[in-house]
Structure 1
C-alpha cells in the first residue's frame, strides 16, 4: 500500500510558496524601524545638546531617585544618540549584527527615557513607544537582509 505524499511537506515540489505579503510587511517594518531608530538617535543628540547648552529648557526635578546632573544627562543622550544613529544605518544596510545591536540598544534607550521622564515627560513617552515598535519590528523579521 502506497501513501500519497503530503502536499504541505517542506521538500515537496508541489508545496505552495510562502506568503510574500507577510515577509514584505516584516521587511518593510524593519526598514521603518531602522529609520525610526535614526530619527530617535538624532532627537537624542538634540536632547543632549539642549541639556548641555541650557539647563532651563528642562523641567526642574527636586526629589527624584534617579536624579543626575543635567549636564551628565546631556552627555549620556549625546553619546547614545550617536550610537543609535550609526546602528540604524547598519540595520538599513542589512547587517545581522546591526539588528542584534539595534534590539539591545533600543532596550537601553527605553530604559534611559524612562529615567528621563521627569525632565521631558511627553517626549519620553513618545520615545518609549517608538522603541517598543522598533524592538517588535526587529524581532519579527526573519529575512537575512532588509534591502
Structure 2
C-alpha cells in the first residue's frame, strides 16, 4: 500500500525552537491583542491626562514618593504617551513594520511612567504595568512576521 502524501500547497509546520516558520500561536495571536491593548491603554492614558490637566485635585496623593510631579505635569505626560500609544496600536493592527518596535519602546515607556504613577492610582498603575509587560513579550516573541520577509 502506498503511504498517503500531504496535499500540494500544504504548509510546512512551524518549529519555534528551530527558528523556522515563526513563533508560537500565543505570540502570533498576542500580537493582534497587543495592538488592541496599546489602543486601550492609549485611550485610558489620554483620559487620565485630560483629567490631570483639567482638575489638579482629582487624584489623591498617597504619602511621599521620590518621583513627585504636579498633577498637571502628570496629565501632560499621560496625554502625550497616550496619543503615541494610540497611533502605535493602530500601526500594529494595520501591519506597519515600524509599529512593532515602536510598540515595544512605547510599552516600556508606559511601564516606567505607570511605575512612577503608583502613588496616585496604585491599582490602575499595576494593571497598566502588567498590560505593558504583556505587550512587550508579545511583540518581541512573535517572529512570524519577520520570518516571512
TM over 0.5: yes
Aligned position for 1:67: 68
Give 4+ residue runs of structure 1 displaced > 3 Å after superposition. 22-25
TM-aligned CA deviation for residue 62 of structure 1: 5.1
Query: How many residues in Structure 1 have an aligned counterpart in Structure 2?
Result: 130
- Distance in 1 between residues matched to 2:42 and 2:104, nearest whole Å: 14
Aligned CA distance change for structure 1 residues 100 and 61 (closer, same or farther; 3 Å): same
- Distance in 1 between residues matched to 2:100 and 2:25, nearest whole Å: 17
Checking the alignment, whether the CA contact within 8 Å between 1:94 and 1:144 is kept in structure 2 is: no
Give the one of 10, 18, 30 matched to 2:13.
18
Please say which structure displays the higher CA radius of gyration. 1
Aligned position for 2:52: 51
Checking the alignment, whether the CA contact within 8 Å between 1:88 and 1:102 is kept in structure 2 is: yes
For 2:89, what is the secondary structure of its paired residue?
helix
TM-aligned CA deviation for residue 53 of structure 1: 1.5
Checking the alignment, whether the CA contact within 8 Å between 2:63 and 2:119 is kept in structure 1 is: no
Aligned CA distance change for structure 1 residues 49 and 25 (closer, same or farther; 3 Å): same
Structure 1: stretches of 5+ with no match in the other structure:
1-15
For 1:40, what is the secondary structure of its paired residue?
helix
For 1:39, what is the secondary structure of its paired residue?
helix
Structure 2: stretches of 5+ with no match in the other structure:
1-10, 15-20
CA RMSD across the alignment: 2.0
Give the TM-score, by structure 2 length: 0.80
Give the TM-score, by structure 1 length: 0.81
Checking the alignment, whether the CA contact within 8 Å between 1:61 and 1:67 is kept in structure 2 is: no
